[in-house]
Amino acid sequence: MIKPHGADALNPLLVTDQDQLEKLQAEAASLPSMLLTSAAAANAVMLGGGYFTPLTGYMNLADALSVAEKMHTVDGLFWPVPVLNLADDTTAIEGAGRIALRDPNVDGHPVIAIMDVEAIEEMSAEQKDLITEKVYGTLDAAHPGVAVFQAQGNKVVSGAIQVLNLSYFAEEFDGTFMTAVEIREDIAARGWETVVAFQTRNPMHLAHEELCRMAMERLNADGCVIHMLLGKLKAGDIPADVRDACIRKMVELYFPANSVMVSGYGFDMLYAGPREAVLHAVFRQNMGATHLIVGRDHAGVGDYYGPFDAQAIFDDIPDGAMDIEIFRADHTAWSKKLDKVVMMREAPDHQPEDYVFLSGTKVREMLGAGIAPPPEFSRPEVAQILMDHYQAEA
């Protein structure tokens, strides 16, 4: 199986020994504590599950700036996006060597991790803007990822952590949420060697389904992991439980048995386009995938990135930085001429009118009105789940 990123073995920070866990929970009650942002809590979940191997905790300011500018830590570890714990006010933890980190996304704010504090540093406005521009490619406050990052505090609290639980994900998404450790174990149990990962924050329409099928066939893959984001999204995105139902129905009806694994991970969407695509590749390598599908406008939002910027960034990554490979996909759509889904670059004789195109706005309007999109766009069983959702929301 493919090795984890930057290590010979996964480094999940979740404490699984029951005796140790109980001791840490007891210790946490006596420690100074800080309430995390949702972004920092999501980072703790990814660190806990082994997705952010080989990191041992939150980055300090020097590493964050180095990652933003050069895509590697001060010590040279390739990494595309700073993994930070930012706060507005650190008065309650000043001078503490060890602190409890509290989960903002669970009632009562239970302790999600214990941290050995390396440093508490002040990030200047100029440094914050630099990180923002390098990671998101813009300072526009209308960009949802920029808005979230800029709204976080300027105190950088860094250090190694021990993760006590994985927030709400395991309970709320039982059977879908999986750690990198669990996905590796599942891949091994299935006997897969060549494994394609497909990232999604949306329900999968017919073109997405066919893209997974194309990648599997062309790479002679043993299987595909459809890996959906389960954390915070922007307003208007489809809730995770609805996406999960859509994807599972599609896999059940239209893929052979033991060819697709449906799973999810606990992270908040960054909408960082190219940089987030590279982060997706890093943690898909950690979960055991040998290939990641990177399509048109991967992890993008609005018009902030070019349609294939998320593919082009991989051309600038140093040789040997990652072992995972990229399957570069074009925009896929139903061809009226060929009566099937095609990648548009592979149909040079086609004109726009030769495809079935539907805008996202048009699809939402149809679903909200109880009208199923055409079968060239969406499987009817998937469309029904979405129609039920939109009509319940009306």
Buried b (16+ CB within 10 A) or exposed e, 276-299: bbbbbbbbbbbbbbbbbbbbbbbb
What are the DSSP calls for 278-334, one per residue?
HHHHHHHHHTT-SEEEE-TTTT--TTSS-TTHHHHGGGGSPTTS-S-EEEE---EEE
Catalytic entry in 190, 201, 248, 364: 201
Residue 190 three-state SS? helix
Residue 166 contacts residue 192 (beta carbons within 8 Å): no
Taking alpha carbons only, the member of 44, 198, 175 closest to residue 106 is 44
Residue 221 contacts residue 291 (beta carbons within 8 Å): yes
Displacement of CA 213 from its chain's centroid (Å) = 21
Residue 105 designated active-site? no
Residue 201 designated active-site? yes
Catalytic entry in 202, 213, 248, 364: 202
Strand 340-343's sheet: what is its strand order? 340-343, 332-335, 355-356
Residue 80 contacts residue 278 (beta carbons within 8 Å): yes
125: exposed, middle or buried (Cβ count in 10 Å: 0-12, 13-18, 19+)? exposed
Residue type, 192: W
Return d(Cα 131, Cα 146) in angstroms, integer.
Answer: 10
C-alpha distances in Å from residue 123, one per residue of 17, 87, 130, 134, 258: 36, 10, 11, 15, 48
Residue 195 contacts residue 1 (beta carbons within 8 Å): no
Residue 137 three-state SS? coil
Residues marked active site are found at 201-202
